[in-house]
Chain A
Amino acid sequence: MTTESDSPKVPVKNREPYQQAYYPPVPTRFTRYFRTSVVWQFIRFWIINFKIFKLLAKSHG
Chain B
Amino acid sequence: MARILILGAGLSGHTVARYLSRWLKGSAHQITVVSPKALWNWIPSNIWVGVGEMTKKQVTFELGPVYRKAGVDFRQAKAISVHPEGDGELSRPFVTIEYTDDQRAGQTDKIDYDYLVNATGPKLNFGATPGLGPDGGYTVSVCTPEHAIEANEKLQENIKALKQGETRTFVVGTGHGMCTCQGAAFEYIYNIDHCLRENGVRDKARIMWISNEYELGDFGMGGVHIKRGGYMTNGKVFAESLMVERNMEWITRAHVSKIEPGKIHYETLDGTEAELDFDFAMLIPPFAGVGLKAYGKDGSDMTDQLFAPNGMMKVDADYSPKPYEDWSKADWPSTYQNPLYKNIFTVGIAFAPPHPISKVMKSPKGTQISPTPPRTGMPSAAMGRAVAASIRDMLNGAPEPTHRASMGETGAACVASTGSDILKGTAATMTVFPVVPDYETFPEYGRDMDLTFGEIGLAGHWMKYILHHVFIYQAKLGPGWHLLPD
Contacts and interface: CB of A to CB of B under 8 A. Distances in A.
B192 to A, nearest CB: 14
Given A26-B244, A49-B463, A7 B197 contact: yes
The interface centre, meaning the residue of A4, A34, A40, A59 with most chain B CB atoms within 10 A of its CB, is A59
B244 A7 contact: no
Give me the 3 closest cross-chain CB pairs, A-B, nearest first.
A24-B240, A45-B459, A59-B410
A48 B455 contact: yes
Contact of B458 (A9, A23, A41): A41
A42 B459 contact: yes
B247 interface: yes
B243 interface: yes
B203 A27 contact: no
A41 B453 contact: no
A20 B247 CA distance: 11
A9 to B, nearest CB: 8
A35 B378 CA distance: 25
Given A2-B197, A7-B197, A54-B451, A24 B459 contact: no
Nearest to B250: A20
B433 A59 contact: yes
Contact of B457 (A7, A24, A44): A44
Nearest to A52: B413
Contacts of A10: 203
Contact of A56 (B425, B453, B485): B485
A48 B462 CA distance: 11
Contacts of B250: 20
Interface in B191-243: 194, 197, 202-203, 229, 237, 240-241, 243
Interface of B: 194, 197, 202-203, 229, 237, 240-241, 243-247, 249-250, 378-379, 382, 385, 405, 409-411, 413, 418-419, 421, 423-426, 429, 431, 433, 451, 453, 455-460, 462-463, 485-486
Contacts of B246: 3-4
A60 interface: yes
Interface of B is mostly: mixed
Interface in A13-56: 20-21, 23-27, 34-38, 40-42, 44-45, 48-49, 51-56
B202 A7 contact: yes
Interface of A: 1-4, 7-10, 20-21, 23-27, 34-38, 40-42, 44-45, 48-49, 51-56, 58-60
7 contacts: A20-B240, A41-B457, A51-B451, A51-B453, A52-B431, A58-B451, A60-B410
User: Which of B245, B246, B410, B456 has the most C-beta atoms of chain A within 10 angstroms of its own C-beta?
Assistant: B245
A21 B418 CA distance: 19
Contact of A59 (B411, B453, B459): B411
B383 to A, nearest CB: 10
B382 A21 contact: no
Nearest to B435: A59
Contacts of B424: 1, 36
B458 A24 contact: no
Contacts of A35: 426, 456-458
A40 B462 CA distance: 13
Contacts of A42: 459
Contacts of B459: 41-42, 44-45, 48
A20 B327 CA distance: 32
Given A2-B197, A38-B458, A55-B451, A24 B244 contact: yes
A11 to B, nearest CB: 12
Given A20-B250, A59-B409, 18 more contacts: A1-B194, A1-B418, A4-B246, A8-B203, A20-B249, A27-B245, A35-B426, A35-B457, A40-B457, A44-B455, A48-B429, A48-B463, A49-B463, A52-B413, A52-B431, A56-B413, A56-B486, A60-B405
